[in-house]
Amino acid sequence: MLIKTGQLAKGAGILPSKVRFYVREGILIPVDQTPGGYCLFDGAAAIERLREIDELQSKERLTIQEIKQRLGEAEVDGH
């Protein structure tokens, strides 16, 4: 199920502005866009990834670049 930014933020328990920031930084990628320009995300998978990103930034205090590297390594490992 595709969800919009606000729904994603609510599902992950973070602010929509933080979701938009992660999209701008290229660490959270929408799967589609509405005709009106709203980002659409892949429901549960996007919520899981967003929680992972937020945890890396808030709890482990990683920079955006470090998060990109960590997520890139996880994707190579098949996670």
CATH for 11: 1.10.1660.10
Start-end of H helices in 1-79: 5-12, 16-25, 43-58, 64-77
CA-based end-to-end distance of the chain: 21
Comparing 52 with 72, the larger pLDDT belongs to 52
In this predicted model, what pLDDT tens digit does every residue of 11-65 receive, in sequence order? 999 999 999 999 999 999 999 999 999 999 999 999 999 999 999 999 999 999 9
Residue 9 has pLDDT above 70, yes or no: yes
b/e burial code for range 13-29 (CB count within 10 A of at least 16 → b): ebeeebbeebbeeebbe
**Owning domain of residue 68:** 2-77
pTM of the full predicted structure?
0.84
pLDDT band at 71 (very low <50, low <70, confident <90, very high): confident
CA distance 16 to 9: 5
pLDDT at 78 over 60: no
**What is the total count of domains within the chain?**
1
